[in-house]
A and B are shown apart, each in its own frame.
Chain A
Amino acid sequence: MTLSVIMLALVLTGAIAWWAERHWQGSAKWLSLLGLTLLATVFAVFITSANHDFAQLQVLTRVMWIATFNIEYSIAIDQLSILLIALTWLLAIICVLISWREIKHKVGFYYFNLLLTVAGIIGVFIAVDLFLFFFFWEVMLLPMTAIIAIWGHENRRFAALKFFIFTQVSSLLMLVAIIGFAYFHLLQTGLLSFYYLDWRALPMPLAMSQYLMLGFFIAFAVKLPSVPVHTWLPDAHTQAPTAGSVLLAGVLLKTGAYGLIRFVIFLFPEASVQFAPVAATLAVVSILYGAKMAFAQQDFKRLIAYSSISHMGFVMLALFAFNSMAYQGAIVTMVAHGLSSAALFCLAGMIYQRIHSRSLIAMGGFWRSAPRMGGFTLAFACAAFGLPGLGNFIGEFLILVGVFQVQAEFAIVAALALVASAVYGMVLFQGSFQGPAKCEVIDLQRREVAICSALLLLLLLLGCYPTLLLKFSFGG
């Protein structure tokens, strides 16, 4: 019940912030920040006070919603969803902080959209009725599109449309698969059901499950994203406002990974095993192709966007290796990539605010005037190319060791990305901060230093003491 209230409160906070901004300028950001922190605390208290370790999926609420189709409002959490929700809270707060000065028009509506997206994301992580899941999936999408389309950069309409169409078409496939599954349930048991745990209990012939799995897989692969359906991401990331990019890279991509774990692998274990070679190949191609494309970019944000494709390729590779270590690595990578790419997008936003350009050609030699910014960029670029001691390394290392035990060839080819990622990392850092100074920039302000150092500390903690994360069992 608490979780539903939290989600509702998020939407309400957003609405109040929208309303308040009309009457008192500048109140929306404070309200959103306050609301998010408060609700995050409530969430933390709720989780810690629960006398349950959430190793297995713990159903919290089950209420009939649309009785005709036996659709329920049912939510449940386990450690995986708790972890991702925690990441969502953190990044949502950072999103508010990073938008502090950046958003100038329709401020109230902006925060409303932001909070609505966060609510939708949290909903996605906790819904266990597939129809409800689909509902939240769409809830999360619409305000995100609005954020890109209204507050984005020069080519925002196009990017928002592209994002919307890709996600819509793919989620249509998922809807078909959901209805197909529910109908199959009806045929087998005489009862229409959208309930996740019912579905897991349902035996299914392989041929049938292959088709249904494909529907889910495509939807999540688009979200993840994986080559060849990744092409919405560079545009959306590049054009979105900073907070939009942070939320997109930090959490929205993780909903794809979450979906792959929760729905593809757990609902269709056999079909996934059969499908694994294809998925792993796609993943490896994503890893290398993303890294190669990142190298070719001259747009700061676009480069990070392509590097995200590369990193999420690691996650997909790990998930389809069916190895516990690779799986742990995937979890760590999800969190670490959430932090590091969010940080890089924040820095991109900070640079954009200063020089009004995202082009690496316009950058160079910033280190002289902004050493703190340079230090942070270097640290996060290092995280991105997997420097040991930072979180991403643990994730990638576990993934590669795990995958190596199962399919050595895939791990070896994926390991080539270590070189390729260093190459784009160098381009990113050296292109912007080294070389002859193109112009002077103001160094980071206190608020910005706070954001960056919080993220860096978390990455360091994750890199040096990953036990915090690894002790979760994540339900097998």
Chain B
Amino acid sequence: MLLASVMLYPLLSFLFLVSFAKKLSWPTVATISVASIGLSALASGLLVWQLSASDNQLLTVTLWHWFDLNSHSGSSAVNIGFYLDGLSGVMISVVTGVGFLIHLFAAIYMKADKNFARFMAYMNLFIFAMLILVLADNLVLLYLGWEGVGLCSFLLIGFWYQEKSNVLAARKAFIVTRVGDTSMAIALFLLFSTFGTLDIELLSSVLPVINGADTDAVLDDKLYWIALLLLGGAVGKSAQLPLQTWLPDAMAGPTPVSALIHAATMVTAGVYLIARLHHVFLLTPEVMHYIAWLGAITLLLAGVAALAQNDIKRVLAYSTMSQIGYMMLALGAGAWSAGAFHLMTHAFFKALLFLTAGSIIYALHHQQNLFKMGGLLQKAPFESALFIIGLICLMALPGSSGFFSKEAIIAQLWSSDTAGPMLWWCAILGALLTSLYSCRLFFLGFLGRARFSAPIQAEKHILLRAALVALAILSLLGGLIPLELSLVFPNSVVLASKNEPSWLHTVAILTPFIGILAAWLYFKPYRLASSDNKQVLGMHNGKLAQFCQQGLGFDSVYNTFIVQPYMWLAKRNKNDIFDQIMMLNTWYVGLWHDAIIMVQNGSLRWYLAAFGIAILLLTGVILL
């Protein structure tokens, strides 16, 4: 029952806040919403401890029977039931732990907002949905959480709903991820019709049996499609190519939202889904290969796009995409634990980066443009220190948590069956890009002279700072948290280093430093930028830079080939072609009506004439 209570607290808090939103004062709302997540975090800590103590590393609870799914072979119950193993243990710890810190931050950060209660209610609802997603014991319930977090994401991106652009960003995020969701839904249909169940545990037990038997082509084909469609769902939620376009726009939401949903937790749901269903993917090496490539390409493209952004949050958004690309790459290579590990550390340091960025933005009176920052190292040393910690983790400098997780991924790429040296080089290139854009961000924002005039108004609330410091500590030391996932991922495909060149690790470790060095030289103008340095802006006006800044043209392609045609079709057919065809009948009847009316002209002489002619004709007919 403890398992169910984890998500009960946020739900209760949400219901309470929604019901009495207008009547509550700030302290009440803040206490309730933060405390509920705190309770959840405690409960999940307890759960993880229980889990490690239990024999089979598994906790389950079934609340009630939801509905039955019937197939030809029999019926399979779909329950509102939860299932905790190592993987979901990691996830709930991240969701509630990081979620708690972000809530704490948000409670102070959003204090002045008129709709504070509504904001915290959404955040709670989000945690609730996310917990359902990661704890669900069947895929339908997982889908419930999946859609639930999508809805919360939509609500929170559009939280400041009076701005037209926020509304459109929210709509875009919802619809684009919904495309992925549809793909996932079809995958579920196919899964069910093939295996007769959607229970995650049952599925994993059904699959190896099939694997052991003679594989037949039909089943292989089905599995291939299932894996591919599931990947479609993951790609949508995790903002990977080709459905990544919503994430940069999602930065329209308040910064804590970006930290919680669009960096730490929700966007990793796709990674979680693939890791959760790794049994399926293990049977389809081709799809694993696609995942690896998809991850690698996203990693590189997002890195390139991050290099050209002006907005500090958009840099971080692209960086998130790129880091999730790493996770995907890890999953594609079969390095499941490494992927999950990176998911966790990324949650720590990306939340830290976003929250610190939020503090800075707040301190600069809602200024998000990097070119209007500069010199923050002196002006805001506390925030700067935290930001540096975040960036160190992001660049994976040795010792930081990002280092451990990223190295774990890179180390397994070379010899993986589904990855290989090509992808290893991609990952290295990605690491280089990461340090390049991190340095660029740092130089522009923190070095040089200040390019703003208004005085800094940093929020110095103790709890806010405590949340940030806690995250910073987690980011630095998170790499030391031991993840015991060998029971979850028993049949990892990666074999211990077979004929790997000896220079691999050295290169991997050195890459970030090379990146920093290159950035130091190449971004010199940024580093030294003063308030009236035209060169800074001059570097930014190339066609290529603009192309990168606008997300490498994906948006315009979708706009031209999908959105516009649909809008055009909708507009052209606004009056419903079928209706017009039906109304042809009316027109036809009207035509006859008019024709007959013409005869009925009311003039007696005409009637008489018609009468005479008719008699004449009749007589003629009779006589002849």
Contacts and interface: CB of A to CB of B under 8 A. Distances in A.
Touching chains A and B, CB distance < 8 Å: yes
Contacts of A295: 566, 570
A417 to B, nearest CB: 9
A422 B175 contact: yes
B190 interface: yes
B147 interface: yes
Contacts of A416: 182
B8 interface: no
Nearest to A378: B155
B161 A435 contact: yes
B164 A436 contact: yes
Contacts of B21: 371
B570 A296 contact: yes
Nearest to B161: A434
A426 B70 contact: no
Interface string A396-436: 01101110110010011001101100110010001001111
A365 B190 CA distance: 41
Of the listed residues A371, A416, A430, the one surrounded by the most CB atoms of chain B closer than 10 A to its CB is A430
A100 to B, nearest CB: 25
Contacts of A412: 186, 189
B69 interface: yes
Interface in B537-577: 566, 569-571, 573-574, 576
A375 interface: yes
A371 B67 contact: no
Contacts of A465: 64, 66
A388 interface: yes
B158 A430 contact: yes
Contacts of A404: 189-190, 192-193
A1 B67 CA distance: 36
B220 interface: no
Nearest to A470: B67
B118 A234 contact: no
Interface stretch (B86-94, B318-326, B496-504, B578-586): B578-586
A365 B186 contact: no
A371 B118 contact: yes
Given A296-B571, A426-B171, A467-B67, A367 B189 contact: no
Contacts of A394: 67
A153 interface: no
A6 interface: no
Interface residues of A, number: 53
B66 A387 contact: no
A106 to B, nearest CB: 29
A48 to B, nearest CB: 23
Contact of A437 (B143, B162, B179, B569): B162
Contacts of B71: 405
Residue of B18, B574, B579 contacting most chain A CB atoms (<10 Å):
B579
Nearest to B198: A401
B61 interface: no
B175 A467 contact: no
Contacts of B185: 397, 400, 415, 418
Interface in B34-79: 64-72
A312 interface: no
B422 to A, nearest CB: 34
A365 B569 CA distance: 27
Interface stretch (A52-60, A119-127, A225-233): A225-233
Contacts of B144: 388-389, 393
B193 A387 contact: no
Given A365-B162, A415-B186, A435-B161, A227 B178 contact: no
Given A404-B193, A430-B171, A465-B64, A325 B70 contact: yes
A221 interface: no
Interface in B162-199: 162, 164, 167, 170-171, 174-175, 178-179, 181-182, 185-186, 188-190, 192-193
Contact of A293 (B148, B175, B566, B576): B576
Contacts of B69: 325, 398, 401
Contacts of A415: 182, 185-186, 189
A367 B66 CA distance: 34
Interface string A148-180: 000000000000000000000000000000000
B147 A387 contact: yes
A433 B155 CA distance: 12
A368 interface: yes
16 contacts: A228-B578, A228-B581, A229-B582, A231-B576, A231-B579, A234-B576, A234-B579, A296-B574, A297-B574, A389-B148, A418-B178, A423-B175, A430-B158, A434-B170, A435-B162, A470-B67
| Among all A-B residue pairs, the 10 with the closest Cβ atoms | A388-B144, A296-B570, A434-B161, A231-B579, A404-B189, A422-B178, A228-B578, A418-B182, A434-B167, A426-B171
